Amino acid sequence: MGNRGMEELISLVNRLQDAFSAIGQTCDLDLPQIAVVGGQSAGKSSVLENFVGRDFLPRGSGIVTRRPLVLQLISSTSEHAEFLHCKGKKFTDFDDVRREIEAETDRVTGTNKGISSIPINLRICSPNGTINFPLYSIYFCLPVVTTGYVGVVNRSQKDIEGKKDISAALAAEKRFFKSHPAYRHMADCMGTLYLQRLLNQQLTNHIRDTLPALRSRLQGQLLSLDKEAEEYKCLNPDDPSRKTKALMQLIQHFGLDFEKRIEGSGDQVDTVELSGGAKINRIFHERFPFELVKMEFDEKELRREISYAIKNIHGIRTGLFTPDMAFEAIVKKQIVKLKVPCLKCVDMVIQELINTVQQCTNKLESFPKLREETERIVTTHIRERESQAKDQVLLSLEIQLSYINTNHEDFIGFANAQQKTNQTSKKGHELPFFYYFVLFSEEKEKKYMLPLDNLKVRDIEKGFMSSKHVFAIFNTEQRNVYKDYRHLELACDTQDEVDSWKASLLRAGVYPEKTTVKDSAQVESFSMDPQLERQVETIRNLVDSYMSIIYKSIRDLMPKTIMHLVINNVEEFIHSELLAQLYSSGDQYSLMDESPEQALRREEVLRTHTALKEALNIITDISTSTISTPLPPPVDNSWLHSGSLHRRSPPGYSVPKKHPAPPAPSLPIRLEAPAPPVSNSIDTTNTTSRPKRIPPSVPR
C-alpha cells in the first residue's frame, strides 16, 4: 500500500522476529496494535476484510464474532491462511477459513451465543492488502483517541449477499468521497486506502523510534556472552581434533589461573575475598609468628628444670660456676618444642594450596572427568611435596640441635647474662616485634586512643549455647583498658578469625597472657639457695637470648623452605608435567566428555550469540541501506489538531480537541465516517443497527 521505506522496516522486524525465534526469545519492539472496536453490526468485520482484501469472517444476525480475533497479515507470493491451533495446515479457500473460525468459536464458547476472551490466532499470507500488520480485533480495548478520525464506506448487507468483491467496494468508496459535496474537498483524507496508509506510517515511525533502544539492549547481551562464547568455539564438534585442542587450552588456562591466584599477578583483582597467595602470606607473617608465641613457657616449670639440670651436673659436688651444659640441655629441649608450630605452618599452607587448586578446577566443571583427574594429579603432587617440606623443616631443627652457637653476634653471653641477673628481669621469653599494624585511630586526642602499654590477651570460655569465639584485652596492672572498661572483649565467628586478631595484636606488641612468678618466696625450696638462684636466673637469661635468635632464624627460614619445596615446585609441575600425566593416565578423549547439562549450555550460548550478532547485523544493514533511500518522514498529524481542519471539514463536523479527550467513548481508529452520517451501504435495505439516511450520490 505504500512506501518502500515502510516495507523495508516491516521486513526488518520480520527478520528480527525470525532471529529471536531461533533462540526461543521474542523481539520486544512493543509494536502498536490495531484494535477494531464497535457495537454489534457496526462494521468491524468489514473493515478487517477491506484490509485483507478477502471475505473470510463469519456473518449473520446478532452476535457473530464471539471471540477476539488476532490477525497477522504477511506479505507472500502465495495466498493462504494458517491458524495457531492448526499448526502446519494451510487454508487456501477462505470459505474454509470462515468455517474454521466458526467451528473454533463453538468449541470454546458453545453454540448458544456464548462469549470468550480466549483469542483465535490467524495468519494470512497474501501479495495483496495491507501487509505485515498484527491486527487485533478485541472487544475490551478502549484507549484514548489521539490521531483523529478517518471515514470509510463499507459494503451493505445486500452487497455482501450479492457477492460484491472487495476491490469493487473500494472503487465505489473512492467514487463516493470524490463525488459527495460534503466530502469531496477532503476525499484524499478519507477511505480505507488512506486509513491503511496512515496506519502504515504510524507503524513505521514507531519502529524507527524503537530500534536504537533495541540495538543497545542487543549489544549489551552480546557483550555479556562474548567471553563464554569464545571459550566454547574451540569445542566445535565438526573439528576432529577439537578435544586435543580443548584439552591443551584448558590445562594452559588452569596453570595461568593457579599462578595468578598464588603470585597475585592477575589482571582481575578479587575485591570480595583473599586469594590463595594472600592467605599464604598471612600464614607466613601473622599466623606462624603467633603460633610461636603460643608456645608459652611455664616460668615456674622452666626454672625448676634449670635448677634440676644444674644440680645434676654438679652431682655430689658444690659448684662454684654456672655450668654451660645446663644451658645447652634447656635450649635443646625448647628447640624440640618448635616442631609443632613449624609442622602446623606447613599444614596450613598445604591446605590453602589444595583449596586454590579446587577453585581453579571449578572452571573445568564442563568436563567432570577432566576436572576430577586434574584435581587428583595436582593434589597428589602437593601431598608428595608436603612430605618433603616437613622432612626439610625437621632437618632444619635437627641442624639447630646439632650445634649451639654461643658465639653468635646477637647472643648475650655469660658476662652480660650475669649482669642482667642483678637487675629486674622480665619473665618469660619475648620476641622482637614489628609495628606493621596500626590498631588505634589517627586522631591525636587521647580520648580516641587505646594505649598498648601493659596490655595482654586472654582467652574467655564460650558461653552456653554461644557460637562465638571470644577473647579479651586487659591491663596487667589492673587499670582500665579504655575509659571505664577493665577489659575489652572481642567476639569472632571462627577460631581462624581469633587467631588472625591475636596475630595482629602480637605485631603491635600485645602478647598473650603468661604465667609469671609474682614473688621469689613462692618458688620451691630449691630456689631458696641464693647462689643457685643466681645461677638459675643466669641460665634463664641465656636461654631467653638464644631462643630469640632461634625464633628469628625459624621465622625467616620457614617461608623460604615452603616456597622452594612446595609452591614453586607445584607451579613448575603444572606448567611442565601435568599435561603429560593427563595423557598417560588414560584415554584423553574420554576426559573431554562434556556433561549433558554443559553440552546444552554450550549449544544455547553459541546459538544465542549467533542470533544476537545476526540481529545486530540486520539492524546495521537497514540503517546503512536507507542512506540512498531515506526512511519515510514522521507522520504529520498537525492537520488533525490545526485550524485547517475546520476549513476542510464538512458542515457540522466536530473537531476533537487534544485536551481534554471527547466525552464520547474513545476509539483508537474510528471505522465509520464522522457526521454527517455516511451510509456504509449502497442499498436502502440496511440492518437496523446501521444508519437509514442515505446521502446523495451514494455509489451503487
CATH code of the domain containing 427: 1.20.120
How far apart are alpha carbons 101 and 59 in whole angstroms?
11
Q: Residue 381: pLDDT above 90?
A: yes
State how far the Cα of 63 lies from the Cα of 109, in Å rounded to an integer.
Answer: 12
The pLDDT of residue 162 is 76
Cell (9 digits) for 484: 571505664
Cell numbers 554461644 label which residue? 466
In terms of domains, do 324 and 216 share one? no
Judged against a pLDDT cut of 50, whether residue 230 lies above it is answered with yes
The three cell numbers locating residue 25: 526469545
CA dihedral 343, 345, 348, 351 (to 10 degrees): -60
Name which residue leads in pLDDT, 272 or 19. Answer: 272
> Is the residue at 355 inside a domain?
no
Q: What is the pLDDT of residue 82?
A: 84
Does some domain include residue 591?
A: no
Contact between residue 446 and residue 574 where contact means Cβ atoms under 8 Å apart: no
DSSP designation for 489: E
Query: Residues 237-264: pLDDT tens digits?
Result: 556 577 788 788 889 999 999 999 998 8
**Locus of grid cell 645446663:** 326
Contact 338, 550 (CB under 8 A): yes
| Burial tier of 79 (Cβ tally within 10 Å: 0-12, 13-18, 19+) | middle
If you count them, how many residues does the chain have?
A: 700
Q: Which domain holds residue 194?
A: 4-53+129-220+616-648
Q: Helix (H, G, I), strand (E, B), or coil: what is residue 628?
A: coil
Return the top range by mean pLDDT from 177-186, 264-273, 465-474.
Answer: 177-186
Give the pLDDT score at 268. 67
Q: Which residue has the higher pLDDT, 681 or 381?
A: 381
* Beta carbons of 498 and 492 less than 8 angstroms apart: yes
Q: Quickly count: other Cβ atoms within 10 Å of residue 521's Cβ.
A: 8
pLDDT at position 366 over 70: yes
Per-residue pLDDT, averaged over 629-649, amounts to 46
Q: Are residues 174 and 310 in the same domain?
A: no
Residue 506 grid coordinates: 602480637
Instruction: Tell whether 184 is covered by a domain.
Output: yes
Long-range CB pairs of 300-306 (<8 Å, 24+ gap) are 300/515, 300/517, 300/523, 302/330, 302/540, 302/543, 303/517, 303/523, 303/527, 303/536, 303/540, 304/524, 304/526, 305/330, 305/333, 306/330, 306/536, 306/539, 306/540, 306/543
Residue 186's nearest CA partner among 140, 235, 231, 148 is 148
Residue 649 pairs with which residues in a beta bridge? none
Q: Which of the four pLDDT bands, split at 50, 70 and 90, describes residue 678? A: very low
Domain boundary among 547, 564, 581: 564
pLDDT band with cut points at 50, 70 and 90 for residue 536: confident
- Is 121 part of a structural domain of the chain? no
Residue 623, in any domain of the structure: yes
Clarify whether residues 174 and 281 are in a common domain: no
Per-residue model confidence (pLDDT) at position 9: 56
Q: What is the mean pLDDT of the chain?
A: 72
Q: What is the average pLDDT across 9-22?
A: 64
Residue 528 domain flag: yes
Query: Beta partners for 69?
Result: 120, 137
**Cα separations (Å) of 17 from 14, 29, 133, 393?**
5, 10, 13, 68
Identify whether residues 421 and 306 lie together within a single domain: yes
Q: So what's the pLDDT on residue 19?
A: 67
- pLDDT per residue as tens digits for the range 444-479: 566 666 777 778 888 777 766 677 788 888 888 777
Same domain, 457 and 394: yes
Strands 133-137 and 34-35: parallel
pLDDT at 24: 59
The stretch 496-513 carries a mean pLDDT of 76
Largest CA distance in the chain: 150
Q: What is the pLDDT of residue 41?
A: 65
What pLDDT does residue 192 have?
81
| Among the ranges given (11-20, 103-112, 339-348, 624-633), the one the predictor scored with the smallest mean pLDDT | 624-633
> Model confidence over 571-617: pLDDT tens digits?
999 999 999 998 887 776 778 777 778 778 888 888 888 888 887 88
Query: Which has more confidence, 654 or 549?
Result: 549
The segment with the largest mean pLDDT, out of 356-365, 529-538, 641-650, is 356-365
More confident residue, 289 or 460: 289
Return the sign of the alpha-carbon dihedral for residues 260, 266, 268, 274. Answer: positive
- Euclidean distance between CA atoms 641 and 658, whole angstroms: 7
- The answer to whether 417 and 542 have CB atoms below 8 angstroms apart is yes
- Mean pLDDT is highest, among 338-352, 364-378, 474-488, 530-544, for 338-352
Is the per-residue pLDDT at 633 higher than 60? no
370 vs 589: CA distance, rounded Å: 10
Per-residue pLDDT reduced to its tens digit, 100-109: 888 888 888 8
Higher pLDDT, 594 or 327: 327
Which comes out higher in pLDDT, residue 464 or 110?
A: 110
Model confidence band, residue 643 (pLDDT cutoffs 50, 70, 90): very low
- If asked whether residues 391 and 299 sit together in one domain, one would say yes
| Secondary structure of 142-160 in HEC code, one letter for each residue | CCCCCCCCCCCCCCCHHHH
Q: Which residues make beta-bridge pairs with 272?
A: none
Per-residue confidence at 150, pLDDT binned at 50, 70, 90?
Answer: confident
- Section 657-684 average pLDDT: 37
Is 588 within 8 Å of 243 (Cβ atoms)?
yes
pLDDT of 68: 78
Evaluate if residue 689 carries a pLDDT over 50: no
**Would you call 360 helix, strand, or coil by DSSP?**
helix
In contact, 378 and 571? CB cutoff 8 Å: no
pLDDT for 376 equals 93
What pLDDT is stored for residue 272 in this prediction?
Answer: 76
Helix, strand, coil percent values for the chain (each to nearest 5): 55, 5, 40
Listed residue (198, 245, 297, 214) closest to 29, CA to CA:
214
Q: Which three cell numbers stand for residue 682?
A: 449502497
Q: Which of 601, 624, 648 is the last residue of a domain?
A: 648
CA angle 529, 533, 535 (to 5 degrees): 120
Tell me the C-alpha distance between 56 and 83, whole Å: 13
User: Which three cell numbers, joined as nine digits, stand for 662?
Assistant: 471527547
Q: Of 344-348, 423-427, 476-480, give the range with the top mean pLDDT.
A: 344-348
The predicted pLDDT at position 187 comes to 83
**Greater pLDDT, 507 or 109:** 109
Q: Which residues contact 140 (CB under 8 A, 6 or more apart)?
A: 117
Region 557-566: mean pLDDT is 95
Burial classification of residue 157, based on how many CB atoms lie within 10 Å of its CB (0-12 exposed, 13-18 middle, 19 or more buried): middle
Same domain, 300 and 438: yes
Q: Is the model's pLDDT at 342 over the cut of 90? A: yes
Looking at the structure of the chain, the number of domains it has is 2
Cα gap 537→545, rounded to integer Å: 12
pLDDT value at position 228?
80
Rounded Cα–Cα distance for residues 682 and 680 (Å): 7
Mean pLDDT over 17-32 rounds to: 62
CB of 517 closer than 8 Å to CB of 427 = yes
Whole-number pLDDT of residue 670:
34
Above 60 in pLDDT, residue 188?
A: yes
List, in order, residues 6 or more apart from 290 with CB less than 8 Å away. Answer: 499, 502, 503, 506
Q: Are 126 and 52 in contact (CB under 8 A)?
A: yes
Tell me which of 342 and 68 has the higher pLDDT. 342
Is 298 strand, coil or helix?
coil
Confidence of residue 312 (pLDDT cuts 50, 70, 90): confident
Mean pLDDT of 181-208: 80
| Integer Cα distance of 238 and 697 in angstroms | 73
Residues 444, 560 within the same domain: yes
Least confident of 125-129, 526-530, 559-563: 526-530
Structural domain includes residue 68: no
Alpha carbon 507 to its chain centroid, in Å, reads 39
Question: Is 482 in the same domain as 630?
Answer: no
Residue 636, pLDDT above cutoff 60: no
- Interatomic CA distance for residues 511 and 502, integer angstroms: 8
Q: Is 0.75 surpassed by the pTM of this model?
A: no
10 Å Cβ neighbour count for 446?
Answer: 7
What is the pLDDT averaged over residues 127-153?
Answer: 52
What percentage of the chain reaches a pLDDT higher than 90?
15
- In order, the DSSP letters of 383-410 are HHHHHHHHHHHHHHHHHHHH---TT-TT
Query: What secondary structure letter does DSSP report for 285?
Result: I
Residue-level pLDDT at 384: 95
35 alpha carbon, distance to own chain's centre: 40
Strand partners, 135: 34, 71
Please indicate whether residue 252 or residue 514 has the higher confidence score (pLDDT): 252
Rounded Cα–Cα distance for residues 66 and 389 (Å): 85
Report how far apart, in Å, the C-alpha atoms of 13 and of each of 130, 208, 614, 629 are.
16, 11, 13, 18
Higher pLDDT, residue 377 or 151: 377
- What integer is the mean pLDDT of 643-653? 43
Extract the C-alpha cell encoding 400: 639447630
Residues 482 and 551 in one domain: yes
Residue 531 lies in a domain: yes
Look up residue 304 and give its three cell numbers: 625448676
* Same-domain pairing of 637 and 542: no
The per-residue pLDDT for 235 is 64
Among residues 38, 26, 15, the alpha carbon closest in space to that of 669 is found at 38
> Are 295 and 406 members of one domain?
yes
Which pLDDT does position 645 carry in this prediction? Answer: 43
How would residue 378 be classed by pLDDT, with cut points 50, 70 and 90? very high
pLDDT class of 3 with cuts at 50, 70, 90: very low
- What's residue 63's pLDDT? 62
What whole-number percentage of the chain has pLDDT above 70? 66
